[in-house]
């Protein structure tokens, strides 16, 4: 991998193949990616309101309830995907490095492996560009 690409991935905190899981950096102690609790799609689907909003992005579960009003694109953009997978919408809008970093603050779990779409190990292109 070229050094420019490596630097970009490191700045985005995207783990290249063969790397160990990274710990999200913030002032409060965070879970290691490998320590995330499993949360099923069925459970995510129960959190689809303004008062309780979870979304799935790249097979990871985020509680974005307290971020809805602060989302630069408006809360309705997130609410369109409340309780569901929002990966394509997230990926398609070209979020900034800061947005990817901010996601760490809302990470609460990961889908069970049998429900993974993007982190299957079979899709090498997507798995190399997934926010950690």
Could you give the number of structural domains in the chain? 1
Return the pLDDT at 27: 34
Q: Write the secondary structure of the chain as one string of H (helix), E (strand) and C (coil).
A: CCHHHHHHHHHCCCCCCCCCCCECCCCCCCCEHHHCCECCHHHHCCCEECCEEEEEECCEEEECHHHHHHCCCCHHHHHCCCCCECHHHHHHCCCCHHHHHHHHHHEEEECCHHHCCCCCCCCHHHHCCCCC
- Per-residue pLDDT averaged across 7-31, rounded? 41
C-alpha 112/C-alpha 41 separation (Å) is 9
Q: Is 103 part of a structural domain of the chain?
A: yes
Return the pLDDT at 131: 57
Taking only the tens place, the pLDDT of each residue in 20-68 is 333 334 433 454 556 889 999 999 999 999 999 999 999 999 999 999 9
Query: For residue 69, is pLDDT > 80?
Result: yes
Please report, for the domain that includes residue 56, its CATH number. 3.10.120.10
Q: Is 95 part of a structural domain of the chain?
A: yes
Question: What percent of the chain has a predicted confidence (pLDDT) above 90?
Answer: 38
Q: Which domain holds residue 12?
A: 3-127
Question: What percent of the chain has a predicted confidence (pLDDT) above 70?
Answer: 66
Ranges 36-40, 95-99, 122-126: which has the least confidence: 122-126
C-alpha 126/C-alpha 132 separation (Å) is 12
Q: Is 69 part of a structural domain of the chain?
A: yes
Q: Is 61 part of a structural domain of the chain?
A: yes
Nearest to 41 by CA among 87, 93, 104, 89: 87
Nearest to 51 by CA among 74, 79, 71, 70: 79
Q: Is 132 part of a structural domain of the chain?
A: no
Q: What are the tokens at 107?
A: 């990470």
């Amino acid at each position: 991998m070229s050094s420019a690409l490596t630097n970009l991935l490191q700045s985005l905190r995207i783990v290249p193949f063969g790397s160990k899981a990274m710990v999200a950096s913030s002032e409060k102690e965070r879970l290691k990616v490998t320590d995330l609790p499993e949360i099923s799609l069925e459970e995510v689907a129960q959190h689809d309101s303004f008062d309780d909003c979870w979304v799935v992005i790249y097979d990871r579960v985020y509680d974005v309830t307290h971020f809805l009003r602060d989302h630069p694109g408006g809360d309705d953009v997130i609410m369109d995907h409340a309780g569901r997978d929002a990966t394509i919408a997230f990926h398609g809008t070209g979020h900034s490095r800061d947005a990817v970093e901010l996601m760490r603050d809302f990470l609460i779990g990961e889908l069970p492996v049998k429900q993974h779409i993007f982190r299957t190990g079979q899709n090498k292109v997507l798995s190399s560009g997934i926010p950690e």
